[in-house]
Structure 1
Amino acid sequence: MGTFHHNTLLLCAFLSLVILAGLSGCTEKEKKDPYIYDLPDSVHNMLPPAKGELLFMDYKTVDFVRKGSKDHFVIRVMGPNFLESTVVFEIFGTTGNSLYRDSFRAFQLLGQTELNLPNPSIQEREEAIINRLKHFFDKDRFRSPAIPSGQTFVEDVSVDGIWQETAKRKDSVSFYYLIELDLRIKIVFYPETGKVEVYERCC
C-alpha cells in the first residue's frame, strides 16, 4: 500500500509539472506578442497574408464612407524588429473592398521629439514607435466635417479638386495620421473615385 501511495504521489507531481509547463508556455506566448490584437474573422479574411514576422496589429471600425457603413481601419507592422519593419495601413469597406492602402518604414513614425533625444538607444526608439502605433487610431484623429466652414485652400498643402469637393460635403468624415517628423496626412472618402483619398498634407 505504501508503494502504491508513493507512486500515486509521483504521478500527481508529474502531472502537475506538465500542467504548469503548459500554462507557462501560454503565458510566454502572450508576453511574446503583446502588440497583436485579435481581429474579427470578417476583418481578418479581408487581409492579404503578412510578409514577414507580424510585430503589431490593431484595427478600428468606423462609419467613414457614410453613416452606418462600418468601415474597417487596419494597421500591421511586419519585419525583423520595429526599427527595420514596414507599416501597412489599410481601409476596407463592409464588403471587403479595399478603399485605401499606404505603407512606409516604421522609423518614419519617429517624431521630432524622439529624434531630439540625446543618443537615443534602440529600445527608446522602438518604444517611441510602439507608442505612436498605439495611438494611431485615437478618437481625435477623426473629424466631421472633414473641412470646417471657413477653412481655405492652401496651395502645396491641399490636393486640388479633392479638397474643394470635400469642403462642400458637410457629412464627410476625415482621418489623419502622422509620419516623417509630424507630417499630417489627411484622408477622406471621395465619392467620385469610390476610394479614400488624400486631401491634405501638412506639417
Structure 2
Amino acid sequence: MKNKIIPLALLLALASCGNREQKVPKTDTTRTTEHVNSNAPPEPGSDEDVRISTDTSSLIKEYSTKHYFSDLKEKDAFTLKLYGKDLSTSKGLLEVKNARNQLLYQYRFSTIDLLIDPESMPESEQAARINEIFKHYFDEDKFRSPAITGAQAFEEAFGNPNAADKADWEKIKANKQAIRFSHREGYEGMVGIAYSKERKKAMPVYYSD
C-alpha cells in the first residue's frame, strides 16, 4: 500500500510545480512587451519623429512672407531657413505651406552654391552677397500671373522635360489665374513653380540658366 501512496504523492507535487512554472513566462512576456513599446522609435513622418530629428539650435537666419499662391482667398506661407555654423557654410531650406499648414513645396540647397567662384572671395564678401540674395528672395517680382504665358510650350520650358508632367503643366497653363513663384537654383539658375490642383502641391513649370 505504501509503494502506491508514495509515487502518487510525488506525482501530485511534480504537477503542482509544473503549474507554477507555466505562469512565469506569461508575466515576463507582458512586462517585456510593455518595455519595448514604451521605447519604440517614432513612426517615420510622425510629429514625434520630426520633433526628435530637427535641430533648431543651428538656425542662423530666417526669411518669410505670405502671398497668394495655391488659393486666391487665403495666402500661403513662404519660409526660407538657413542652418549651420555660419552663413557661407550654411544649408538652406525653402518651404511653402498653405493656410492649413500643409506642405506644398520643399527645396534644399547649399548656400555657397549661390555664388560664382566663392573661393576667390573673402568670407565677409561671401556673407554680404548671400545676404543680398536672401534680402530679395521674396520680392514681388518673384511672383507672376499667369504662371505660364500662352506663348510658352512645355518642351521649351525645361532643358530636359519629363513627359509625365505635361498633362498637369498644360492644366496650369490653361488657368489664367495660376501664380508662379521663381527662386534661385545655383548661382545662375532660376526655377519657376506653380500650384497643381491635380497633384495638390506645387510643381516646377519653368527653368532657366
- TM-score w.r.t. the length of structure 1 is 0.69
1:1-203 correspondence to structure 2 within 5 Å: 49-110=54-115, 112=116, 115=117, 119-153=120-154, 154=156, 156=159, 160-161=165-166, 162-203=168-209
Q: How many residues align?
A: 153
CA distance in 2, matches of 1:195, 1:119: 39
- TM-score w.r.t. the length of structure 2 is 0.67
- Quick check: which one's helix share is greater? 2
CA distance in 1, matches of 2:142, 2:180: 8
- Shift in alpha-carbon separation, 1:64–1:93, aligned structure 2, 3 A: same
Q: Matched residue of 1:88: which SS?
A: strand
CA distance in 2, matches of 1:181, 1:127: 15
- Shift in alpha-carbon separation, 1:202–1:98, aligned structure 2, 3 A: same
1:82 CA drift (Å) = 1.0
Amino acid of the structure 1 residue aligned with 2:127: E
Q: Work out the percentage of aligned pairs sharing the same amino acid.
A: 23
Amino acid of the structure 2 residue aligned with 1:81: D
Deviation by residue 1:151-179 (Cα, 9 ceiling, x = unmatched)? 23315255541432221110100000112
